[in-house]
Amino acid sequence: MRRYILNRLFQFIPLLIGMTFISFLIIQISPGDYFTQLKMNPEISPETIENMRKLFGLDKPVIIQYFYWLKNIFSFNLGVSFSYHVPVSFLIKVRLKNTIALSIFSIFLTWIISIPLGIYGAIKDKKIQERILSFFAYIGISLPGFFIAMLVIFFISKTAILPLGGTTSIFYENASNFEKFIDYLKHLLVPGLILTLSGIGSLYRLMKNNFLETLNSPYIFTAYAKGIPTYKIYFKHALRNAINPMITIFGYELSGILSGAGLVEIITGWPGMGRLVLEGVLSFDLYLVMASLLIGGILLILGNLLADILLALTDPRVRLR
């Protein structure tokens, strides 16, 4: 088990290095560098710029520059955002928390809803209940996340039942910790629900297919032949086997969630990483964009690692080799 996880960790290292290199490359190919914009700012003296140039090694060849940049990255010095005039790491810290909260909230909700639905769909395969569910799943898969967001916002604007935009209400400052938490959760609800709605369809379909496939496997026949009651076959033998492939694709799914979250954040006004990147792009704040890209990639790597660990816990074939 420990060896397996260490092995996986080891495999992620070249990935991580590759990711930093590609992020760096993207900055390199963009016309001008970070300082061309700073130079135009009269408040910053040429000496400061020259010092920063040295700090980032911009007077050296590209490969050396990369290592300078890498060194800075590992000390969590992601550069300075020139539109906000604060370190990028500071900006990201605030926003990352919100994005992670949003992602975890909606992953949790998506799984809680689509797994039982998937099992139900598989048990009722080819009956009217399954046809209806699958039809809605199809619509859910085909509806763009941003369009779901707009429809939900349209609905909310008509009813005004949930708060929209930001993470907190006006009374937040004077509230108790518990009230603060509830308030945060309330604001999380709209973007979270939108993200969940756009994710249920595909996860339902996956779970349904997995469960169906599992029900047709020989060991399920064995269980029937042993005289085990049907409900126990479903919830002991089939469920465990059907969930394993879902864990395997968790990393892949996380990529979709992070992307979806970025867009939903922008549309609903949830201050997360997605909005930060957009702001970065619009103000040509390259260091901000690259740092966000890198952080997004690292989140995915961590998600994949988590999936590997979970898989090892649930599947003895992975754990004991």
Partner 1 sequence: MKKILQRLKKRNYISFISLWIIVFLYFLAIMADFIAPYPYNKQFRDYPLCPPTKIHFFDHNKKFHLRPFVYEIKLVNPALNQYEIIEKICPIYFFVKGEKRKILGLFPSTRYLFGTKQGKIFLFGTDMHGRDIFSRVLYGARISLSIGVIGVSLSFFLGFLIGGISGYFGGRIDNILMRLVEIFMMFPAFYLMLALRAVFPLNLSSFQIYLLIVVILSLIGWAGLARIIRGMVLSIKEEEYILAAKALGISTFKIIFKHIIPNTFSYSITAITLSIPGYILGESTLSLLGLGIQEPFPSWGNMLSVCIGNLRILSNAPWMLIPGFFIFLTIICFNFLGDGLRDILDPKNW
Partner 2 sequence: MEKLLSVKKIVVGNQQVKILRDISFEVKEKEIVSIVGESGCGKSMTLRTIIKLLPKNLEILSGEIYFDRIEIRKYNEMEKIRGKEIGMVFQEPSSYLNPLFTIGNQIEESIKENISKKEKKEKIVNILKEIGLSPNVYYQYPHQLSGGMQQRAMIAMSLINKPKLLLADEPTTALDVTTAFGIINLLKNLISKYGLSIIFVTHDISLARYISDKIIVMYAGMILEKGNADLVYNKPLHPYTQKLITCLPEKYKKGEKIRTIEGEVPSFKNLPIGCPFSPRCEYRQKLCEEKIPEEIEVDNRIVRCIRYGNFMEN
Handedness of CA 10, 11, 12, 15 (dihedral sign): positive
Q: Which amino acid, 89?
A: S
Nearer to partner 2, 46 or 218 (CB): 218
Nearer to partner 1, 14 or 218 (CB): 14
Type and span of the H or E element at 54: helix 46-55
* DSSP structural state of residue 235: I
Residues 241-263 as b/e (b if ≥16 CB within 10 A, e otherwise) read bbbbbbbbebbebbeebbebbbb
Among 72, 209, 283, 314, binds partner 2 (CB under 8 A): 314
Rounded distance, CA 157 to CA 64, Å?
54
User: Which neighbouring-strand residues pair with 86?
Assistant: 81
* Residue indicated by tokens 């590997």: 308
**Does residue 317 touch partner 2 according to CB under 8 A?**
yes
The minimum distance between CB 312 and partner 2, in angstroms, equals 13
Nearer to partner 1, 74 or 154 (CB): 154
Q: Which of 300, 291, 218, 212 shows the shortest CA–CA distance to 254?
A: 300
Which residues lie near partner 1 (CB under 8 A)?
Answer: 14-15, 18-19, 22-23, 26, 29-31, 138-139, 141-144, 146-147, 150-151, 153-154, 157-158, 164-165, 255-256, 258-260, 262-263, 266-267, 269, 273-274, 277-278, 280-282, 284, 286, 289-290, 292-293, 296-297, 299-301, 304
Give the phi and the psi of residue 164 in degrees, each rounded to 5.
-130, 135
Among 16, 93, 236, 302, binds partner 2 (CB under 8 A): 236
Rounded distance, CA 213 to CA 139, Å?
23
- The alpha carbon of residue 237 and the mean position of all alpha carbons in its chain are separated, in whole angstroms, by 31
* Residue indicated by tokens 């906000």: 84
The minimum distance between CB 251 and partner 2, in angstroms, equals 21
Among 42, 218, 231, 282, binds partner 2 (CB under 8 A): 218
Which partner from the list partner 1, partner 2, none does 269 bind, CB cut-off 5 to 8 Å by kind? Answer: partner 1
The 238-257 site mask, x for binding partner 2 (CB under 8 A), equals: --xx--x-------------
Q: Which amino acid, 67?
A: F
Which partner from the list partner 2, partner 1, none does 292 bind, CB cut-off 5 to 8 Å by kind? Answer: partner 1
The minimum distance between CB 103 and partner 1, in angstroms, equals 10
Nearer to partner 1, 206 or 300 (CB): 300
* Footprint of partner 2 (CB under 8 A): 217-219, 221-229, 232, 236-237, 240-241, 244, 314-317, 320
